[in-house]
Amino acid sequence: MQYHALALARHGREVSLLGYLRGPKLLQYVIKVLVQSVQLLYTLLRIDQPSYILLQNPPGLPSIAVAWVAGLFWRSKLIIDWHNYGYTIMSLSHGRNHPLVQVAKWYEKLFGRLSDYNLCVTEAMREDLWVNCNIKAVTLYDKPAAYFKETPLDLQHCLYMKLAQDYEPFRARAEPVGASAERSAFTERAGRDGAVGHTRGRPALLVSSTSWTDYEQFIDEGAKLPALVCVITGKGPLKEYYNGLIEKLHFKHIQICTPWLEAEDYPLLLGSADLGVCLHKSSSGLDLPMKVVDMFGCCLPVCAIHFECLHELVKHEENGLIFRDSKELAEQLKMLFLGFPALEGKLHRFRQNLRASRELRWDESWDQTVLPLLGPRE
């Protein structure tokens, strides 16, 4: 939604960006819906009269109905950007046959039909909206912002040195040669103003979250594979739990790091990595992982776990690999990193394919897909 707001502002539109926090679990249903309905409607009726109300779903309860009511008051057109279905997310914790899930499904179908225009993130979702909800939508694939790109080697070095201050996996395995030289686990600079190069025998940098036991075993059995530094990004209530599990692991060739990254450092990290691993599974099977979109913007190949419409983003054996279980992922990692960091093999070919594809960025894609839906500026 921030991307939408920036795109609208870029075309001279005045934008009011609204959002709300989720309440505690005990309040998430009836009380949350009532309170947030009043809050959201009150806010929508206080802003300057909008020509369009652009809404992301999920969360659509209560925002779709409230936005429709506000649209009637303002005589505004309602646009829904379908990223998923709220009822399928709810079903993960309650089951698909739970009464609340069924009510949420009925609600999304009913009020979704009241919109004037609809956007969605995959062709599979566009077809599902039409067949099951009688909603006509236009596919607007998520695209990376312009700042997701490959990171130059000197900026990689600055990022590694910054992270090395707090995180052991980024620190040099040996002292640099020369008083003014500096070295990280991946790069070295020969003097304060010298050129940056990769360290000899550097580990592979992987952005992901998964189990690495099989990979460790491959190295112990003699496979010529690099050591791995696995960076797990993101935050959430289970982060401390998994940090506790990581501390109990005693790998010799694999280091796992869960750094806190400043916003501007995240695209730099993706643009510095050698491989991304995505474990996103869609609750509906109809949306795509934004993390992979960002990785591809940085020309970073991925291994991604299979679900129904993933092929719309990850082209198996072209820009990455799709796996179905941990054993298959381990075999893919072994194949991709064999002989690393030689500039040959599938890992290098995937990166070259991503560089050559020159896919549209968010701004260009938005201008082609969304802008024609909007009338002239009023």
Is the pLDDT at 327 greater than 60? The verdict is yes
How much is the pLDDT for 80? 97
- Give the CB-side neighbour count of residue 131, counting CA atoms within 13 A: 6
How much is the pLDDT for 215? 77
How much is the pLDDT for 58? 92
Mean pLDDT of 189-200: 86
How much is the pLDDT for 227? 92
How many residues belong to the chain? 378
CA 23 to chain centre: 24
How much is the pLDDT for 251? 84
Measuring CA to CA, how many Å separate 314 from each of 89, 182, 308? 23, 38, 12
Tell me the C-alpha distance between 322 and 153, whole Å.
29
Indicate the pTM of the whole model. 0.88
Q: What is the dihedral of CA 242, 320, 300, 126, to 10 degrees?
A: -90
pLDDT tier at 239 (50, 70, 90 boundaries)? low
Is the pLDDT at 212 greater than 60? The verdict is no
pLDDT tier at 357 (50, 70, 90 boundaries)? confident
**Six token digits for residue 308:** 């129904």
Burial 286-306 (b: 16+ CB within 10 A, else e): bbbbebbbbbbbbbbbbbbbe
Lowest mean pLDDT among 126-135, 235-244, 349-358: 235-244
Q: What is the pLDDT of residues 19-71, one digit of tens each?
A: 876 655 545 567 778 888 999 999 999 999 999 999 999 988 889 999 999 99
- State the chain's mean pLDDT as an integer: 89
Of 274 and 94, more confident: 274
How much is the pLDDT for 93? 85
* Terminal CA-CA length for the chain: 22
Q: What is the pLDDT of residues 274-321, one digit of tens each?
A: 999 998 888 898 999 999 999 999 999 999 999 989 999 999 999 999
**Six token digits for residue 353:** 């394919």
Residue 115: CB atoms within 10 Å:
24
Mean pLDDT of 87-91: 92
Mean pLDDT of 169-185: 83
How much is the pLDDT for 222? 83
Type of residue at 366: W
How much is the pLDDT for 244? 73
How much is the pLDDT for 184? 95
Tell me the C-alpha distance between 39 and 171, whole Å.
49
Mean pLDDT of 168-178: 83
Indicate left, alpha or beta for 51 from its phi (over 0: left) and psi (-120 to 50: alpha).
alpha
How much is the pLDDT for 190? 82
Tell me the C-alpha distance between 31 and 325, whole Å.
41
